[in-house]
């Protein structure tokens, strides 16, 4: 029952650009910053983007984030095989007084 | 470097309790809020709880409110999750994570510990 909605899957060939959307509401994305996480099964999730569009040290600039109103998106340009993973958006929700994750998007490199 | 190591997972019967620990190192533990997040088999990430750097504030997901408590010992640089009245739906890998401090983001994660609730 996540309050942030993502498409269940996305795919592309190596070198292509893939975009993942994240739809929320005024109490979460609309009033707080958005973060994105990459998760490979069996490993620890990794912070990919914070504060809507900032990359932590070590994250390639192929990954970029944006936010507009109550929606956000993650773009992966120059898709690589190692980008095959699950991606989650997340934000603080002022109404729930809690942190909420998106439903998750599985990215497949064809 | 930041290191977070969870422990305490295992198999537990429904209705019983379990306490998870997260040993932190490589950063000033007492300066950062900490989170617990879980992932049930075949499901997505679910945030569980947060505790402020000094333990002054704690918030929980509705799914665990009233059953789980979060605490920390800054002198031992350890985070805890006390889980009571466990249900089958609590079966998951539980991760601890350090807040990055920039508007709530989970900057560093542990490898997780598996909790299985089953009779």
Phi/psi for A48 (5° steps) reads -105, -45
**Residue of chain A nearest B102, judged by CA positions:** A51
Contact status, residue B17 vs residue B83, Cβ threshold 8 Å = yes
Given a cut of 90, whether residue A2 has pLDDT beyond it is no
Given a cut of 90, whether residue A1 has pLDDT beyond it is no
Q: Give pLDDT tens digits for B73-82.
A: 999 999 999 9
Q: Give pLDDT tens digits for B39-52.
A: 999 999 999 999 99
Q: Do B45 and A45 touch (CB under 8 A)?
A: yes
Contact status, residue B93 vs residue B38, Cβ threshold 8 Å = yes
Residues in A whose CB is inside 8 Å of some CB of B read 2, 32-33, 35, 37, 39, 43-47, 50-51, 54, 56, 86, 88, 90-92, 96-104
Distances (CA, A) of A85 to A10, A45, B101: 10, 10, 26
Q: Kindly list the residues from chain B whose CB atom is less than 8 angstroms away from the CB atom of residue A43.
A: 111
Q: Kindly list the residues from chain A whose CB atom is less than 8 angstroms away from the CB atom of residue B62.
A: 96, 98
């Amino acid at each position: 029952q996540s309050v942030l909605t993502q498409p269940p899957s996305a795919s592309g060939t190596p070198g292509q650009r893939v975009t993942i959307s994240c739809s929320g509401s005024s109490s979460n994305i609309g009033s707080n910053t958005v973060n994105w996480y990459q998760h490979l099964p069996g490993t620890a999730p990794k912070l990919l983007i914070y504060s809507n569009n900032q990359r932590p040290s070590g994250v390639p600039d192929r990954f970029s984030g944006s936010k507009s109103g109550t929606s956000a998106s993650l773009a992966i340009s120059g898709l690589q095989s190692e980008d095959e993973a699950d991606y989650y958006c997340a934000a603080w929700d002022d109404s729930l007084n809690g942190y909420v994750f998106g439903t998750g998007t599985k990215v497949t490199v064809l | 470097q930041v290191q977070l190591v969870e422990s305490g997972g295992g198999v537990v019967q429904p209705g019983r309790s379990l306490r998870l620990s997260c040993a932190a190192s490589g950063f000033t533990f007492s300066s950062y809020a900490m989170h617990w997040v879980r992932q049930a088999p075949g499901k997505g990430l679910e945030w569980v709880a947060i505790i402020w750097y000094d333990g002054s504030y704690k918030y929980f997901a509705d799914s665990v409110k009233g059953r789980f408590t979060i605490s920390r010992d800054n002198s031992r640089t350890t985070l805890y999750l006390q889980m009571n009245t466990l249900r089958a739906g609590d079966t998951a890998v539980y991760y601890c994570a350090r807040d990055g401090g920039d508007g709530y983001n989970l900057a560093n994660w542990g490898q997780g510990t598996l909790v299985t609730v089953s009779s």
